[in-house]
Amino acid sequence: MQNTIHYGVSSLHPASHYFDICLTIAEPDPAGQVLWLPDWIPGSYMIRDFSRHLTPLHAFTADDQPVAITAIDKSSWRCAPVEGLLRVRYRVYAWDMSVRTALLDQFGGFFNGTSLFLAVSGQEQRPVSVSIERPVGAEAWRVATTLPRDGAEALGFGDYCAANYDELIDHPVELGVFDYLRFDMDGVPHALAVTGVHRGDLARLVSDLRKICATQIAFFQDPAPFSEYLFLLRVVGSGYGGLEHRSSTSLICNRDDLPSANEPEAPSAGYTQLLGLCSHEYFHSWNVKRLKPDVMVAPNLRQPAHTELLWFFEGITSYYDDQFLLRAGVIDAPAYAALLSQQLSRYVQTPGRSVQTVSASSFDAWTKYYQQNENTPHVVVSYYIKGAIIALCLDLMLRTQGHSLDAVMRALWQRFGRSQAGICADDIQTAITDLLGSYGEVFLQQALHSTQELPWQCLLEDIGVQVKLSSAQAVTLGVRTQAGDGGVLLRVVDPAGPAAQAGLSAGDVVVALDQRRISAANWDKRLAQYAAGESVSVYAFRRDEWLACTCIIAVAAADTCTLGLSDDTDAWPRVLAVNH
């Protein structure tokens, strides 16, 4: 079928942050063509209302006669019936430094199709073509994307294409001046495009990415499920995030997280975090992009697609992302132990785990996990973190039976991932109980649908890992803080803690303790001068109003986990990371 839908992307003035879009429809609906824009982007489970960034739409016939357009709702429109070709012009405001939407200025640009491309209702399965024009004044810019080229040169502006609308919106596009490094993985071309000012050692990064990619491809014992792959990495002063796509990923990292020219053999904490992010998004090429929940096979991008399985697709991935750093040899066993310790600490430090089940967390991601406030830690458990701890428990239980979580993932991939058939909760349970029996069924019921504590500690100790829970500080007021305007901002306040009992709330700015001025820099040191049971006078502002109260210092909870290696320093990391 010929491409009867065409998108033109241009910008006359990139510094204004506007993309200019021209949509041409060769065969519009004779009853009046309906157009719509997604309200969310796959992989980020929140209604984002991308249509708010569109300027008014203007439609024309082939001879440039205006065509009336009527809004149906917040993100769909109906064009009046026309004979022959229909052309729609509009602009998209692009000024969001994230992996989810679009960005454009005089230095470069980025976009996801969900932000720019109106869907042609009833013709979503038709092939489409896209012309990406060089913006005015952007002579040095190039294009990085895995969107199939249809005449455009490699890294060049020009014509691209997609088999349908779903494919069109699953290939993010980077425009601008960037570093571009290619590498090959078993005949599959890979590339890294890095945008932003930096002095990073990209050869080191590519070397480590090669190891991670090779390890993950070998994991599934199948050829890579894509014909090419692209890491799009934007480096900024402060930022972090990633979003998976079918043959690429969009990433943001801190500039200082890139490896330096004199980076030691053992990667820094920031560089390790970056490698973990790359590992996480690359693993999504299998786990969620192809091995996916049934509701995500053909999701309605106009409304939430609720599923209780995000604990599996994000949590399992969060378990394996650091595992692959160890298996690939880019970190050693002590470094992996430290990463697992941090993950366990974050879990233990989440009071919401005793309130919300992980299946409910998955289902309510649209309204709770992705729309957090100061009360979130007390009522929400992260399906990323708890899902990863569930994966750890399953892996340890399976290994006692001579199996592993690896075997479960491969079985699900062979049955559902290859065909992208979509899986449900019963499919996951069956794959696990086939190896663990009724014990696995009981564990899953408790882990997923109750707030009962997970047996991670005893399972680790059973294989010789030394688990220590301690307090980062001896005493506490039951708050999480950050620097505030003239004092210390109470970011989170434990409802059962001393501060809350005294009447303090999240958002209050503490300016003094016991008549002495306080700051974020000396908060911990000053608090450590008190013993549990002592009282302290707290002076604060709530908005612009003065507040004074007395708090009783409490003993800090033992919520920081440290994992120790046994005398055989290779024993438990080998058990956790070996491929079965």
Q: Are residues 299 and 310 in the same domain?
A: yes
| Residue-level pLDDT at 395 | 97
Alpha-carbon distances, residue 406 vs 185, 223, 279, 433, 565 (angstroms): 22, 17, 16, 14, 23
The pTM of the full predicted model, rounded to 2 decimals, is: 0.96
Dist. CA 220–CA 409, nearest whole Å: 8
Helix, strand, coil % in the chain, rounded to nearest 5: 30, 30, 40
The CATH number of the domain where 329 resides is what? 1.10.390.10
Residue 560 lies in a domain: no
**H helix runs in 201-253, sequence order:** 202-219
Exposed/middle/buried for residue 139 (C-beta within 10 Å: 0-12, 13-18, 19+): exposed
Q: Domain boundary at 215, 245, 271, which?
A: 271
Residue 505 lies in a domain: yes
Dist. CA 441–CA 211, nearest whole Å: 35
| Residue-level pLDDT at 2 | 57
Average pLDDT value over all residues in the chain: 95
Q: Are residues 263 and 329 in the same domain?
A: no
Q: Are strands 516-517 and 509-513 parallel, antiparallel or unpaired?
A: antiparallel
Q: Are residues 41 and 123 in the same domain?
A: yes
Return the structure tokens found at 261. Answer: 């020219």
Residue-level length of the chain: 580
Q: Which long-range contacts (CB under 8 A, 24 or more apart) does 492-495 make?
A: 492/374, 492/377, 492/378, 493/374, 494/351, 494/378, 495/378
DSSP for residue 259: P
Q: Are residues 313 and 328 in the same domain?
A: yes
| Structural domains of the chain, count | 4
Q: Are residues 378 and 426 in the same domain?
A: yes
Q: Are residues 267 and 295 in the same domain?
A: no
Domain extent, residue 414, equals 286-465+568-580
Residue 349 lies in a domain: yes
Which residues partner with 104 through β-bridges?
Answer: 109
Q: Which residues in the chain show pLDDT less than 50? A: 1, 579-580
| Residue-level pLDDT at 565 | 75
* pLDDT tens-digit series, residues 509-558: 999 999 999 999 999 999 999 999 999 999 999 999 999 999 999 999 99
DSSP for residue 44: B
Q: Domain boundary at 153, 174, 195, which?
A: 174
Cβ atoms of 480 and 491 closer than 8 Å: yes
Among candidate residues 279, 384, 285, the one with its CA nearest the CA of residue 45:
384
| Residue-level pLDDT at 1 | 38
Q: Domain boundary at 271, 300, 334, which?
A: 271
| Residue-level pLDDT at 572 | 58
Q: Are residues 10 and 140 in the same domain?
A: yes
Q: Are residues 358 and 415 in the same domain?
A: yes
Among candidate residues 343, 428, 341, the one with its CA nearest the CA of residue 382:
343
Q: Are residues 377 and 519 in the same domain?
A: no
Q: Are residues 307 and 367 in the same domain?
A: yes
Residue type, 509: V
